[in-house]
Structure formats: C-alpha cells, structure tokens
Amino acid sequence: MTHSSRLQCADDFGPFDGRIWLNAAGQGPLPHPAIRAAEEALAWKVAPYRVPENAFREVPHRLKRALGQLIGVPPEDIILGNSTTYGIHLLANGLPWREGDEVLLIDGDFPASVLSWLLLRERGVTVRLLRPENGALQADELAVHLSPATRVFCASWVNSFNGYAIDLQALGEVCRANDVLFFVNGTQAFGTRPLAVSEMPVDAVTCCGYKWLCGPFSTGFCWLKPDLRQTLNYKQVYWLNNMRGDDFNQVLNYDLRDDLGAAAYDVFATANYFSFLPWAASVEYLLGKEIAEIARHNTALVARLIDGLDPDKYAVQSPREGPARSTLLVVTHRQPERNAALFQALKQAGIDLAMREGNLRFSPHLYNSDDDIDRALAILNAA
Ligand SMILES: Cc1ncc(COP(=O)(O)O)c(C=O)c1O
C-alpha cells in the first residue's frame, strides 16, 4: 500500500532554496507567521518607541496560552525556559532529596534526559540507567527495576537515536502504582504527537522549542503538576516577575512575592521578544493545523519512506509500525560503513537529514510532501 500525506503546508515555510529539509528532529524551520513575528520584534528594537507598553507581560502570556493549549493545561501552569534541560535541571535540583533516593533513566537516551540527574550522585542519590531489551523500555522491565528507594523515572517520549516511542500510559501506570514521579522529555514528540498531559499518568514534562515546535533556538518550556511544583525545595526571583503591577514608575520595591505559582520558575527575562514572539506564532500556527492532523501527515510520510526502501540494501532500525513507531526514522545501509557516503550523496542532491550514531535519521514534518520522500528514496535505492 502506498501511503499519502494530507497536509499542504509547504507554502507556509521556506523557501528552502530548492532543498528538502528532512531534519525537524534537529531543527524545525520557522513558518511564515513566525517570520513575520520575528520581523515585528526586530522592528521594535530598531526603534524602541515601537515596543508596545504591555509587551513585557503580553509576550510571555501569549506564549503560555499557546503552550498550555498544546499540552492541555492552564497557561499559568506553563514554565518558560530556554531548553529541554531547563526543566530537567529545575526538577533535579528542586526535589527535596534524601540520601539513598534513586532515579531511574534509560541507557541510550539523549544526554539532556540523563546528565542533570547524574549530578545528584554527589548528593547521595543513586542514578541507574536501564538498558531496554528491545528499542523502548517496556512497563514490565521498569517494574522489575523499581525499588522502595525509587523517586523518579525520567525518559524521552521518543528516542533521538532509534526513533522508538515509549508507552507513556503503561510506564506511567507502573510509576503511579509505586509512588514514583514520571518525568517525560517531549522534545522529539511535542508538535508531531498529540498529548493532553492531564489524561496521562505523567507528573512533569519538558521540551525545547526549536525542533518540532518550529521555534527559534534557545527556547523551551516545562510543566510540573501543581502539587509537585509546590514541593520544590528551590527558589529564584526575578525583579520583573516580582513587580506587582506594570507601572515602571514604581519599580522600587523589595517585597518578595509568594503568589507567582509556576511563573516563579520562568527563565529570567521572559519578555525575550526576539525568540518568544516568533515561537508563540509558530505554536499557534501548528495548533491551527491541529497536532493530530500533523501527526497523521508525518506518520504517512514515514510509512511511505519505510515501504519504499529497498530491503536488500537497507535495514530500518526504528519500529516499522505500531504505537512505538514515531516520526523519526533511523535507517542503516546493510553495509553501515556506506552510511556516511549516502548522507553526503543525499546532501549533494539537496536533501538534508541527520546522521546520528552512524545511522541515517529522517524526520519529516508538516511542510514535507510525498514528493520529498520519493526524491530521497530515488537516491537511496539507486545507490
Ligand atoms: C530528546 C532530546 N532532548 C533534548 C534535546 C536538546 O536539549 P536542549 O533543549 O536542552 O538543548 C534533544 C536534541 O536533539 C533531544 O533529541
């Protein structure tokens, strides 16, 4: 069966100078509404009298509204960051740890999901890496490794190196049943897979903005369940957040606010309009296309790629079908030493993808078409 994608979004992106961008898992391009927003932000800074009076509040609020809608939580529960790591760092450093507590992670996960936790070893926390038997850690594998000391299980929803998606529901249920916090890195999933966090047994999520969410670099957000957030043993304060009103004629006040909720953990200077204005426009644009629709489109492109590959030449390392399949497809030539040359051949033919851990990684997004996939296949299969 030949799979056909459905969205027609290519005109809202680029131009890509005639090239084909199959690397949303590396960097997502800005859609045109976001480019216009970036131009607007630039115009503000060229002549600062243009900066709207309410920009300091409205820029972060607008972004939080869009991100809240994306994951199905109230905007005031969104914490704005500058990366995926921001959210992981916040939880890893903020939880009230006791000597002997344990964190479980996945061996083979992207370093952002792992490194912040490793620092906790200095504080007497045990950090263990679990190697999945087969691509993605299963709920029963996790269950075997849990101990009374386990406090947190943290994993990427979609693995950057093999494209496997973990089963959030099943793993989250195991965590819930054992009183373990489940922290999900949504970086390779949000924007290409729908998720309403309130309907899933997850306690916290974190994500960057510059991949599937098509925002600028140096953007990200996280969400912690409000009751979890309230247990954090870490505080920060930023003068602009701490102001009670918007009157810059009355800035001089040292009373610390204790009513900020999630906003207390925002990265400093959230009125970062160069980044956050275009990112808000990107997320609004994606929401307008509907994430479920984007997921169907991207999945059809991946299925087309899988079906079209010459099986004598290529092995697909990601799941070929089923719920563990994602919109990242990792492929290797049956002679893996040829992958680097294939990557270059595709690049020379105007097709950009990623090489990760020696394999070819394709990650099509809503601006890609069947034709893009067919052009990549023609080069791969002729090699
Ligand atoms: C799963 C995953 N998490 C995080 C990141 C990036 O982390 P950060 O946003 O902290 O730079 C990547 C980048 O490829 C990733 O694949």
Average pLDDT, the chain: 97
Report the 3 state secondary structure along 347-363.
HHCCEECEEECCEEEEE
Alpha carbons 380 and 97: distance in angstroms, whole number: 51
Angle among Cα 258, 151, 112 to the nearest 5 degrees reads 80
Query: Which residues, given as ranges, of the chain have pLDDT below 50?
Result: none
Ligand 1 nearest-atom number relative to CA 26: 14
Ligand 1 nearest-atom number relative to CA 160: 16
Nearest CA owner, ligand 1 atom 11: 83
Q: What is the pLDDT of residues 11-68, one digit of tens each?
A: 999 999 999 999 999 999 999 999 999 999 999 999 999 999 899 999 999 999 999 9
Angle among Cα 273, 88, 77 to the nearest 5 degrees reads 55
* Ligand 1 pocket at CB < 6 A: 83-85, 110, 112, 156, 160, 185, 187-188, 208, 220
Give pLDDT, residue 1. Answer: 59
Give pLDDT, residue 3. Answer: 75
Please choose from 154, 159, 166, 208 the residue to mutate so as to test ligand 1's pocket, defined by most ligand atoms within 8 A of CB: 208
Residue pair 39/226 in contact by the 8 Å Cβ criterion: no
Please choose from 114, 115, 188 the residue to mutate so as to test ligand 1's pocket, defined by most ligand atoms within 8 A of CB: 188
Question: Which of 368, 367, 360 minimizes the C-alpha distance to 344?
Answer: 360
Give pLDDT, residue 275. Answer: 97
Residue pair 199/72 in contact by the 8 Å Cβ criterion: yes
Residue pair 168/200 in contact by the 8 Å Cβ criterion: yes
| DSSP 8-state code for residue 132 | P
Alpha carbons 319 and 311: distance in angstroms, whole number: 15
Cα distances (angstroms) measured from residue 250 to each of 55, 126, 245, 247, 257: 17, 48, 8, 6, 15
Ligand 1 nearest-atom number relative to CA 188: 1
Cα-to-centroid distance, 209 and ligand 1 (Å): 10
